[in-house]
Structure 1
């Protein structure tokens, strides 16, 4: 786990763009034993399960103005990992701690329709880093999935929140659960629900 976080955090300081960061991570992982690529995928999966909750999904909805579909939340979980070990731990324990994250603070007061592509709180590409590295190391296409499944592990492909579901459109409940985020981002209008978009604007 220490090596996992060291790689993730180093990728943020060694590169300037999300695409460069993914390429950096893939290159570094591809230079290691195949078992490390497998471990990377399994550790990433375990971390994202820590934030696969309705509490975190609703927080993502607040930040994104309701624009957080199933896929969007899956990629949001990976983005949380990309924040680094300390920030991830704080948000895993309390989703309202997103209000302290600089990348989130920069979005406050702006419509999601005005966000640049690399500002969105998602990191879809992180899901493919271990697969690509494993293929480079072994020459086997889709080989990582087979190895992981042989070990009795099924990697998450979509959200499956483990906590009790609640009305994430309830304005009063959102304000109660996320006082700091609610002060930064507009909540849904009273008596109305967010439209859960399947694609960003």
Structure 2
């Protein structure tokens, strides 16, 4: 069985093993593939539960701002995985106070730079984490896409896109952004412009 603490320990151990996201995914897949198939289902459910905690408009707003408007449904889904990958302490702190993103070295190193200049591994997303459990389950059972059936057998369904649970607000309102996230807006100042057709006010 993989409980919440076990899930967090695995995520954090992968970061200790290697800083490279792809190598972390391979490490996690290998570790899970050594365990019973039910543990892999547990892992998928713990990931989904963690993601649900971060599935908030109050987090989508700063994610959109950091990425200069380039944070669609898929982008925010993968941003949630990235946040989970930073470890339990960071995850809890940012979910409780999204403006704390401004304190993270992974965010601060992006400040003052155009998104066009970001390397692939600097983007605040971690899409491949979504596929760890699928690949491990298939390796154990030989069943392609068998994980979904196993999850459904437990009466659950994994979320595939954001469905924020808190009150929606205008994510592109510069005054509201500055009020909610003063440290983040100080780090990534708002200037007039249009990026990605999403926000009327965004960074260059």
TM-score with structure 1 length normalisation? Answer: 0.93
Alignment RMSD: 1.5
Cα distance in 2 between the residues matched to 1:102 and 1:174 = 21
Cα distance in 2 between the residues matched to 1:167 and 1:99 = 20
> Would you say 1:4 and 2:7 are equivalent positions?
yes
TM superposition shift of 1:188: 5.1
Cα distance in 1 between the residues matched to 2:17 and 2:46 = 22
TM superposition shift of 1:162: 1.0
2:88 equivalent in structure 1: 85
Q: How does 1:35-50 map to 2 (within 5 A)?
A: 35-50=38-53
TM superposition shift of 1:109: 1.1
Cα distance in 1 between the residues matched to 2:173 and 2:191 = 8
Cα distance in 2 between the residues matched to 1:99 and 1:16 = 21
Cα distance in 2 between the residues matched to 1:28 and 1:193 = 40
| Structure 1, unpaired ranges of 5+ | none
Deviations 1:34-65 (A, max 9, x none): 11110110010011111111110001011111
Deviations 1:137-191 (A, max 9, x none): 111111110010121111000011111111111100000000110001132528x
What count of residue pairs does the alignment treat as equivalent?
196
Q: 2:69, 2:196 within 8 Å by CA — same for their partners in 1?
A: yes
Cα distance in 1 between the residues matched to 2:29 and 2:198 = 32
Q: 1:73, 1:159 within 8 Å by CA — same for their partners in 2?
A: yes
2:172 equivalent in structure 1: 169
Q: 1:169, 1:194 within 8 Å by CA — same for their partners in 2?
A: no
Larger RCO, structure (CA 8 Å, separation 6 or more): 1
Cα distance in 1 between the residues matched to 2:49 and 2:198 = 26
TM-score with structure 2 length normalisation? Answer: 0.92
Cα distance in 1 between the residues matched to 2:15 and 2:178 = 32
| Structure 2, unpaired ranges of 5+ | 200-204
Cα distance in 2 between the residues matched to 1:70 and 1:117 = 19
Greater shift in the superposed pair: 174-183 or 162-171: 162-171
Higher strand share: 2
